[in-house]
Amino acid sequence: MVIITLIGTMFPGRISAFSEFALTWSLPVVILSPFAGVIIDHWNKQQIMLRCHIAQTILIVITPVIVILTKSSVPIWILVVLFFSLELFNNASRNAVVPDLVGYKDLVPANSLIIVFARIATFLGMVGGGYLIKWVGWQLGFYIDASTHFIAGLLVLGMGAPALFAPVKKFEYSLIHELKKSFFRFMADLKELGILLAKDRAVIFVMVSVAILPFVASIAYTVLVFLVQQTFGLGTTGVGWFGGVIGIGMLIGGFLMGIFGKRVNRGHIIISSITLMSIVFLIGPFVVTPVYMYSVALLVGMLFSFIGISQDTILQEDVLKHIRGRIFATKEFVINVTIVISVSIVGVISNWLKPYTILLGVGIFLFAIAVLSLVTFLSIPEDIRRTI
């Protein structure tokens, strides 16, 4: 919320400014993804999460001081690059340890509970953050944010016995040797993934669903935030409520998946969710108002939880413990590559097309993806289709 406020102040009227910021936080993750998995799988995951939170705390604390001393916005962009580089290790480690903390039959409820708590935090952070920045200024906002990361780091220590987070095996050679091996393995994995995508329809279906969420999130962060903040004139607090409503939707979606997730085919959930998202984007340009925007935010938030929980559960069910870190790091790679491509395209076309035209194009694209997903899903052998 602090950085969204600064962008609106420094670059009014420019959707591309939001695209440039999104590139700043997503590109480092793309670069680091080939190496993150091997580090996570060979080190204590609890220590990784703890150290990431502490390092993020320090970065957030020193950034406003440097900004004031240098009177430049450059330190903020440096903070963003370093912060989200650390967040890759934190997120992948967290996802990788869930199956070690709960039983196989409790994965869906556990992932739903994680989504529920995360979405409560989203609501409080977005809505509360919008008002806090308005009341106390961006400098103090940085320190409040730093305190939450410090607390999160302390809470990591209470997640369970240290043995749960120990690596299956430690580095056989030097870290440099392992990182080189990891890079070549990652490239080989991407090549293998390309081969699978050419012949395995189930893999195609899953990977398309993985890419859809960051694509829609990129549009929401660039075009929709621009509309709320500047076109409708609702400012930082309006953006905060927009993000908060998305958080409420994801909270509701997490509760519903926790209750009904085991009873519904996850393939059907993913297809239905993509179809609904395409419809709201197709209708949007013709009826868009602040009320419609917030209604869409609630619905899309729910759909994000449906798709996200389905994806994580599928991966956790099918992947062995000693390679989960690499799998979730690869997922982060796919997500951030999608964000980089999406925000780059939006940043370029926003110079010629109006926001409403972009939304219509997104709706058409999502509808085409929904049709492709349905055709692909129906072509999967029935015995496999039932287990997705």
How confident is the model over 337-351, as pLDDT tens digits? 888 888 888 878 877
Domain containing 299: what range?
Answer: 2-164+196-385
Greater model confidence, 102 or 183: 102
Contact 306, 271 (CB under 8 A): no
Contact 357, 285 (CB under 8 A): yes
CA distance 144 to 132: 9
Q: Which of 245, 253, 205 is nearest to 376 (CA)?
A: 205
What's residue 293's pLDDT? 85
Contact 18, 221 (CB under 8 A): yes
The per-residue pLDDT of the chain, averaged, comes to: 80
Model pTM score: 0.66
Q: Count how many domains the chain has.
A: 1
At 53, the pLDDT band (50, 70, 90 cuts) reads: very high
At 58, the pLDDT band (50, 70, 90 cuts) reads: very high
Contact 93, 325 (CB under 8 A): yes
Is residue 174 domain-resident? no
Is residue 68 domain-resident? yes
At 55, the pLDDT band (50, 70, 90 cuts) reads: very high
Which run of H or E residues covers position 289?
Answer: none
Report residue 10 as tokens: 């420094």
Can you give the CATH number for the domain in which 359 is found? 1.20.1250.20
At 195, the pLDDT band (50, 70, 90 cuts) reads: low
Is residue 176 domain-resident? no
Is residue 211 domain-resident? yes
Is residue 263 domain-resident? yes
pLDDT (average), residues 303-327: 70
Q: Torsion-angle region of residue 169: left (phi > 0), alpha (psi -120 to 50) or beta?
A: beta
Positive or negative, the CA dihedral 371, 375, 376, 380 is positive
In this predicted structure, the answer to whether residue 330 has a pLDDT above a threshold of 70 is no
At 2, the pLDDT band (50, 70, 90 cuts) reads: confident
pLDDT digits over 273-304, tens only?
999 999 998 998 888 788 888 898 899 889 98
Residue percentage of the chain with pLDDT more than 90: 10
What's residue 109's pLDDT? 82
3-state secondary structure labels for all residues of 230-263: HHCCCHHHHHHHHHHHHHHHHHHHHHHHHHHCCC
Is residue 185 domain-resident? no
What's residue 273's pLDDT? 92
At 150, the pLDDT band (50, 70, 90 cuts) reads: very high
Is residue 175 domain-resident? no
Is residue 184 domain-resident? no
Of the listed ranges 137-146, 278-287, 329-338, the one predicted with least confidence: 329-338
Report residue 149 as tokens: 């990361």
* DSSP notation for 54-122: HHHHHHHHHHHHHHHHHT-SHHHHHHHHHHHHHHHHHHHHHHHHHHHHS-GGGHHHHHHHHHHHHHHHH
